Structure 1
Amino acid sequence: MIILGIILSFAAIGVLCWLLFTLAVFALPFFAGVTVGTWAYQSGAGWLGAILVGMVGAGLTLGVGQILLGIVRPLWVRLLIALAFVAPAAIAGYHATHGIVKHTMPSESWQLVFSVIGAAAVGVTAFARVAGMAATGPSSQGIARA
């Protein structure tokens, strides 16, 4: 029975890490949606209105980010847009990793080291996904060949 518990614990950690890496790009829209939803609730929209406003805010944040990545041409502006998506993902990765290693190792310095490594891993993964969202530029299909 103990072995089954250990195996299920590893499986749960694996699923949660996979979920974290998959959803890391959506950290900025999620935070924006929660912020807008909280504002709507506090301004008297009720819980249903706050949920709807939060979902619209999150969708707009993601949509505007994708549109800007597709339209903007200067590389430094694209990097700033990508950084806006990557920074919350790295922060979420830090806290998720810290929550896991806090229960597995007593040394606070090693907890910090592994948390920073987890933040870097999630940040790099989020950057790769955001870079994949960006348009690659105009295609050369319309160019006539001699």
Structure 2
Amino acid sequence: MLLGLGIVLGFASIGFLCWLLFLCAVYAAPLFVVAMACTMLYNHAMMSGAHVILTGIAAGIMVLASGQAILAFSRDPALRVAVSMLLALPAALAGFGTTLGFCGMGDMSAIPAYLFATFGALCVGGAAWTRLCAIQPA
């Protein structure tokens, strides 16, 4: 009874995490910028922790706002594809890492794990790119 419940809850939790990953994949680029800005400012600047966090959040907001503005107001297809690809690339990297982590939980060997991780990166990056391309210009 408890073993069956554990298996069902395990599949449900992995399904929930995958759904959450697909839902939040569009915001991977601003979060990546926040993390990198905070890391670089903390390591190389004489700033306190609160200032570093606020500056990183401001940088992420600027990336998100500028990307959304370009996609919303530009009619040039090449620019829209380039911006969509730049915003979807961190989502693909997040999908690769997440799928590789899920494969590591199942004690899978290296080659199939990297093949599944590549497939996961294509799926998550493709989902983010599709959601970004769905933004219609005004």
Using structure 2 for the length normalisation, give the TM-score: 0.90
Measured against aligned partners, the alpha-carbon deviations of 1:63-89 in whole angstroms (never above 9, x if no partner) come to 000111123222111100000011111
Moved over 6 A (4+): none
**Quick one: which of 63, 69, 72 aligns to 2:71?**
69
**Deviation at residue 105 of structure 1 after TM alignment:** 4.7
More off after superposition, 85-94 vs 5-14: 5-14
Structure with higher RCO (Cα < 8 A, 6+ apart):
2
CA contact (8 A) 2:95 2:121 kept: yes
RMSD of aligned alpha carbons: 1.5
Measured against aligned partners, the alpha-carbon deviations of 1:5-44 in whole angstroms (never above 9, x if no partner) come to 2222112111111111111111110111111122332312
2:55 is matched with 53
The whole-number CA distance in structure 2 between the counterparts of 1:107 and 1:37 is 35
CA contact (8 A) 2:81 2:133 kept: no
What percent identity do the matched residue pairs reach? 33
- The reply to whether residue 82 of structure 1 matches residue 72 of structure 2 is no
CA contact (8 A) 1:72 1:78 kept: yes
Does the residue aligned with 2:36 lie in a helix, a strand or coil? helix
1:40 is matched with 41
The residue identity in structure 2 corresponding to 1:50 is V
Q: Which runs of 5+ in 1 are unaligned?
A: 138-146
**Quick one: which of 93, 102, 124 aligns to 1:100?**
102
- The reply to whether residue 119 of structure 1 matches residue 117 of structure 2 is no
The residue identity in structure 2 corresponding to 1:66 is Q
- The reply to whether residue 10 of structure 1 matches residue 7 of structure 2 is no
CA contact (8 A) 2:91 2:124 kept: yes
The whole-number CA distance in structure 1 between the counterparts of 2:39 and 2:107 is 36
Q: Which runs of 5+ in 2 are unaligned?
A: none
1:29 is matched with 30
Does the residue aligned with 2:108 lie in a helix, a strand or coil? coil
Q: Which has the higher helix share?
A: 2
